[in-house]
Every structure is written in C-alpha cells, then in structure tokens.
Chains A and B, each alone.
Chain A
Amino acid sequence: MRDFLKTSLVAIALALTLNAQAADVPPGTKLHAMQHIVIGNGAEPATIDPARVEGRPESNLTVELFEGLVTQDANGKVMGGVAEKWESKDGGKVWVFTLRKNAKWSDGSAVTASDFEYGFKRNVDPKTASYYSWYLGKASNVLNATAIVEGKKPPSELGIKAINDTTLQITLEHPVAYLVSTLIHGSLMPQPRKVIEKFGDKWTDPANIVGNGPFKLAERVVNERIVMVKNPHYWNNAKTVIEQVTFLPIVNQSAEYQRYRANAIDMTEDGGVPADLLSQIRKEIPDEIALWPQLGSYYYNYNFKLKIFEDVRVRKALSLAINRDVITKQILNTGEVSAYGMTPDIADGYKPIVNDWQKLSQSEREAQAKQLLLDAGYNAGHPLKFPLLYNTNEQHKKVALAIAAMWKRLGAVEVELVNQEWKTFLDSRNRGDFVLTRGAWVADYNEASTMIDVFHSKHGSNDGKYNNPKYDEIIDKAKITLDAGERTKLYQAAEQILAQDFPAIYLYHYSNRRLIKPWVKGYGRNPLGRIQARDLYIVAH
C-alpha cells in the first residue's frame, strides 16, 4: 500500500513537472520550411468518432484530433493530457482528476469535466454501438460500466462524475492501481456534446467536427487521404511544430512502399516494412528502417473443446519442438523477439520468468518432445494428425511452413496447413471451428494485465477456451492488488501456470516497424507503436 501511494505521488509529481506533450526540438536544429508530414495509416478508418473506434486505423487519428485525460510521451510514458494532475482516494477505488483550465475545443470553448463524463457515458451506452464499449468495464474497471454495456443499468449509473468544470471523479468497481495507464486508449476522449446532439452521426464531417487535440480535421476523402492542420486552440499549440499532417489509407504495402520511395510518404504505417522487399530495403535504405519492440504476442491456440490436445504432454511436445529463434531471426528478421510466454518482457509492471524448458538447448527440447509424444502414444506408425488454421497471408504461411517442418522432424506429427480469407477465418475461430489456430494479441495499454488477461476463461479473445480456475483466481487477484511488487509476483505466477499448462504455443513478440525518412525527427520507441504528429518535426533537407 505504501508503495502504491508512493507511485501515485510520483505520478502526480511527474504530471506536474513534465511538459512534453509537444515536439522537443533541440536548440540549434535547422527546421525545414514546410512542416508538412505524410503518414501511412494502413486501412481506411471505419470512423473518426472516438466512441466508435475499432482499432489502430481509427485510434491513430483520434489521438491527433482529441486529447484524453492522459496521453503518452514519444516513448510511451503516460503523462497528463487534459488532466493536469490526479490522485486516488479510498485506497485506489476513487480517482480525482484535475483538468487544466486552458484546455480548449477547436471552436474555442473550454474542455470541461462534463465533456469527459458525457464521452465516457456515450461509449458504454448500447445505443452508440461502440466496439470498445467493453473497455471501460473490463480494462479500466469503472463502476457499473459492464452492467451498462449488458443493458442491466442505464448509462447514467456509470462511475464518472464531473464535480465542477475542472474536477472529474471516476469511481471503480474495486481498487485498480494501473487505472491511469488504461486511460490512454484512443476511445477515451472528451466528446463535444452540443455538436454530437446537433448533427447526430454526421458530427464527424469535416464541416461539423470539433476536437480538442493538437490537430483538427481539414479534409477527408474516403480511400484517399485524411488531412489535418494545427489546431490553434490546442492548449499547447505553441509547442506544436508540424503544421499539417496527411494520413494515407493504403492497405497494399508495396504500393505504400513505392510512394515512400518516391518521397510522397514520410513515414509508413505501423508494420509498414514490406517483408518481401526486406533484403532490398536493407541494402538500399538501411538507415530508414525503424524497429523496436512491441507489446504484442503471436501464438497458436489449441482448441480445448476437442479431445486431441487434452493431454498436456502433447501440447508441451509441440511447443518444445519449435525453434523460435529460426522464426524470429531467419524467417521474419524485423525485430521480433522469441516468445516463451504470453507477456512480453518490456511490459510495464512485469519481470520476466525463465521457464525450465527454456533453459534447455534446442536439441534437448526436441529429444524431450519426441519422448513426450511417445509417452502420449504417438509414433511414426500412429502419428498425431491435425490441421493448422491461419488467415491467408504470406508471413503466416512462411511461419506455419517452418513450424510444420520442425514438427515433421519429430517423426510422429502430421500437420495439414489450412488458410482462410480474413473474415472467414475470424468466423471459424470465433465459432471454435478449428483444431489449432493462429492467434495474436496486441496490448491496449502498457501494463502486463492487458496481455495476461487473454487466457482468463472469461476473456472474449480466449479463442481456445482454456479454462483454469487457478489461473483465473490469480488474474482476478492481480487486478485488485495495489502493490506493484505484489502484482508483478502474481503475473509471474500466472505465467508460470502458462509455462506448465501450455494453453497455447507462444511463438514471438511483435515488433513495431516502420520506414521513416531521415528528416523526420521527434519520434521515440513507444511499445504500443503510437507515434503522434504532435511530437514530430522535420529538419531541413
């Protein structure tokens, strides 16, 4: 508890002293005359309404157009956004945020605590039909959020209250120490009630939209571009260097790459390093590849509804037989890290454990795998046969082929590779119509819980339906544990269970990878991959 108080105090102090919600240009830097930047966005965003974001293509934009209570600096550190400081009461159950007085909407009016209250309530209101409506309840544990989403309580019962214009109080279901980390999410923005009520679904039109972020929307052409310009009313506008940001929704990576090479794009989308051109890129523009670790994991899920993988020896054998370094270093080779568990080492509040089998050499692991399969009754005459399902994609195919070859060496495994088009794949996976399938999870916020929670029996993305009451118990306990050290121990205990139970085959932790022109400066190594134009500047070139 004392630790917890200490960390909250530190957080408050940091929020007060740091003021890095802007580009930090070193003195003497010669800036380029035109501070315009063009950034790849991957897919066309489904919306720019924060309440209805679906994933990265949307939140990339909402964090530029809006600013939440808290935000992240270039390296992903959580810091004050509209909130100037915060403190917890009732042992971490109630949180009080003090908003800065100079926070303004792009129409010049003040951003108040009620704008957050309205926005958060709108997110959980079933009428809004928000994909992330579950987030405030399941991730942030805000009082009544889940009940409201389930239609059992009205949105007015949400545990959020504007005490006055600059004081916002959030009440939780139970104490959560890392609440503030969860609030960086791209859906948790203040929302302009007047504008939304006046224009309805049309409030996001460039002519209508009002935001409170460093940039405001200037133009939107579906499937071509989204143009934003500096928001003169942003409270820290004086520190913003970039004048105009253009986001290009380009799904085809080789098309994005050509435009990058033609200098029409300054920074590709997250993940925008086309794998099939990697050797050419390394040869021609090696200094323009930016790689750093991401909070995300790539794994194969066993289907626990089926008998075939009931025997833990089989699950263990399949996991041990895979040489992960071959996949990360030889096949992918873009900064991925071999995974032996669900939580990446870099997750905030986590100290990695080393599994027993991880200490073995690969040949020892293989020998053990062979023995385990024999013990489980599988051999060359009676092999273990199953299909492996993944969504159609060259990278997934390469990984699957390599793994199939590694399993083949065991002499008792016959795997059939099956690929399906994306939506078909999602349908099969959601319906449990698979034996072994590709799975992946990328963190919503920087704390181990967002990763480790996936294998909780009640988690929506626990696709294999792994169910271990002991595991659930540890996770549930970790959620309400305030002491950071205690919590880390619980996360380690949970990972220990995963290391013994093998509910999935963890293969690698993702990397953030982009191509960035040498004249773009100011970005950091945010583990969530987020790069905000607010932090960037373009040097003379």
Chain B
Amino acid sequence: MLRFILRRIFFEAVPTLLVLVTVTFFLIRLAPGGPFSSEMNVPPEVKAAIEAKYRMDQSLPMQYLGYLADLAQGDLGPSFKYKDFTVNELVNKAVPVSFKLGIAAFIIALIFGVCAGVAAALKQNTWIDYSVMGVAMIGVVLPNFVLAPMLALVFAVWLKILPAGGWEGGQFTFMVLPVAVLCKHYISVIARITRGSMIEVLGSQFIRTARAKGLPMHYILRRHALKPALLPVVSYLGPAFVGIITGSVVVETFFGIPGIGQLFINGALNRDYSMVLGLTILIGTLMITFNAIVDILYGFIDPRIRIK
C-alpha cells in the first residue's frame, strides 16, 4: 500500500502537476489583455511601474522559473488583482467555505441519489421509476443559473423564510438554498447511475440464485446487490467530489459565497495570473488525491480489484 501511494505521488502526481502548472502558466498569458489593462488607459510609465511590482517586467522564462521557485516553497505569489492579499491567504480563507458547502451538498446528493436510484431500479417501469427518472432528468437539464434565482425568489422574496444570499460564516439558514442548488445536479446523476447499475446487478445470476434460495429482498439488496451496484457510483464520486467543491461558480456567484468558485471566475475575468495558477494547482491536487482514494476504495468494495 505504501509503495502504491509513493508511486502515485512521485511518478504520477508530481509530473502531472508540473505539466499542469506549465501549461496553465503559458496558456493564461496567451489570453488577450492582461491583469493590468483597465478602462482608464494608464500612461506607459505607470503601467511599467505596476508590472515591475509583479515581476512582469522580466522575460517569460524568468517569470516561469521565479514562479516555480516560489511554488516549491509553497508560495503562490501575490494576487494580481486583490492587492491586499497573497493567493495563499485568499485560497486559505476560501477553501473551508467551499468545502463546507461542497461536503454538505455531497452527502445529501449521495444519500438521496442512491436511495432514489435503488427505488427506481426495484420498481422498474412503474410510476415510481418514471417519476424518479423524470425528476432526475429535470435535475440534469435545469441549469443552476435558472434554479438559483427561482429558489431565491420563492423562499427569500416571497416567503421571506430564507436569506437570498450571503454566507455569514456558514450559518445553517444561509446554506440551505446554495446546498439545494448545488446538490441537485449530483442527485440526478447519482440516481441515474445507481438505477442503471442496480438493474444490471439485479438481473445477474448470483442475485437469481439468492432469490431462488428464498432470501428476503431487503437482505439480498443489502448483502449482495448494493456493493457491486455502487461500483460505478464510487468511480463517479472522486471527480464529483472535486467538482462539487470547486465547480460551484454559479452558486457562489449568485449567493455571494466567499469560496473558491468566485475566486476562480474573477481570477479568469481579471486575468489574475497568480490566482488562476494557484487554484488550478489546488484543483489538480484535489483531483489526483481523490482519484487515488477512489482507486483504494475500489479494492474494498470489489475483491476482484486489488491493488498490487
């Protein structure tokens, strides 16, 4: 196991991240306009002074090497846009917010998604199945930027029972609407995956054998069917977890939540090079980590897959 982890880190994670950093570093600089272009066209001397402060007066390879040197020490540099903060400070403050929001949405998505999927599979082609899949379909196609204002209108403006936005350190009432919007897509996807794989498992030989033995259905489900049926769900969970934490751009922007989604979108729009790079590294690292965790989990769920 230790060898597996070490191999993962040194032969896969580090080179992948290095490629990611390099590609992002140069790609973001290819985007037209720079961090310091503004509507008011500042005189060239002023622009030069600003660029010098952020090492942008050096050649591109020098900037790159300088960035790598800082990165090796865990320093993501100053934010090019938010002058009062370094990227480390901003990310450190935003990560717990996105994690809190993401984990809440993730747990809800997992519980509701799996339950709905199993129910639909057991009652295949009945009204239960149709309504679960119908709602799931709506969940997949209904965009967050439509759902978020709709929920805010109903619960905040009309009913006045929940806030229309804000975070307030993650108080419960402030989390309800964002979590609802955020988990919607994942409930739908997890329900669909669970249903499909459960139907397949239920039709397999070993389940038929179990039923022939006269075992009760709930026992078969728990003991034999659930584990293999969840395999595809588990493989989806790794990327989904990272996605739910980092991909809440619309939710964070609409509800004014100070997480990494807002930092990312503003970073890209402002051409805040160091911010975009820092967040790319963070998300890359999360992605690699969670994929590795999923690989390990696989072994526990399915004895056929064991890491050598």
Q: Which residues of A approach B to under 8 Å, CB–CB?
A: 44, 46-49, 52, 54-55, 126-131, 133-134, 149-151, 201-202, 204-205, 221-225, 248-252, 254-255, 258-259, 261-264, 420-428, 430, 440, 460-461, 463
Please give, as numbers and ranges, the residues of chain A lying within 8 Å of B156 by CB-CB distance. Answer: 258-259, 261-262, 264
Does the CB pair B83–A426 fall under 8 Å?
A: no
B124: min CB distance to chain A, Å: 41
Q: Which residues of B approach A to under 8 Å, CB–CB?
A: 31-34, 37-43, 45-46, 48-50, 52-54, 78, 81-85, 90, 93-94, 149, 152-153, 156-157, 160, 163-167, 252-259, 262-263, 266, 269-271
Ordered nearest first, which 3 A-B pairs have the shortest CB separation? A423-B33, A126-B49, A427-B33
Bound Cα distance A422, B39 (Å):
9
Does the CB pair B45–A423 fall under 8 Å?
A: no
The listed residue (A48, A129, A133, A262) touching B84 by CB distance below 8 A is A48
A218: min CB distance to chain B, Å: 14
Q: 17 A-B residue contacts at CB 8 Å? A: A127-B53, A129-B52, A131-B38, A223-B266, A251-B253, A252-B254, A258-B149, A259-B163, A262-B156, A262-B163, A262-B164, A264-B156, A423-B37, A423-B269, A424-B31, A460-B40, A461-B39
Known contacts A424-B33, A427-B32; is A130 also within 8 Å of B262 by CB? Answer: no
Looking at A46, A425, A428, the one whose CB has the most chain B CB atoms below 10 A away is A46
Does the CB pair B46–A149 fall under 8 Å?
A: yes
Please give, as numbers and ranges, the residues of chain A lying within 8 Å of B50 by CB-CB distance. Answer: 129, 131
B156: min CB distance to chain A, Å: 4
Q: A134-B42, A149-B49, A423-B37 are in contact. List 12 more A-B contacts (CB 8 A).
A: A47-B82, A133-B49, A134-B43, A221-B93, A223-B258, A223-B262, A224-B257, A255-B164, A259-B166, A425-B33, A426-B38, A460-B42
A196: min CB distance to chain B, Å: 12
Please give, as numbers and ranges, the residues of chain B lying within 8 Å of A223 by CB-CB distance. Answer: 94, 252, 256-259, 262-263, 266
Identify the closest chain B residue to A462 (Cβ).
B41
A522: min CB distance to chain B, Å: 25
A149: min CB distance to chain B, Å: 6
Bound Cα distance A522, B152 (Å):
30
Please give, as numbers and ranges, the residues of chain B lying within 8 Å of A201 by CB-CB distance. Answer: 78, 83-84
Bound Cα distance A255, B164 (Å):
8
B51: min CB distance to chain A, Å: 8
Known contacts A221-B167, A262-B160, A423-B37; is A134 also within 8 Å of B32 by CB? Answer: no
Does the CB pair B45–A126 fall under 8 Å?
A: yes
Known contacts A129-B53, A150-B45; is A255 also within 8 Å of B256 by CB? Answer: yes
Known contacts A224-B166, A258-B156; is A54 also within 8 Å of B82 by CB? Answer: no
Known contacts A222-B90, A255-B165; is A440 also within 8 Å of B39 by CB? Answer: yes
The listed residue (A54, A151, A259) touching B38 by CB distance below 8 A is A54
Looking at B37, B39, B258, the one whose CB has the most chain A CB atoms below 10 A away is B39
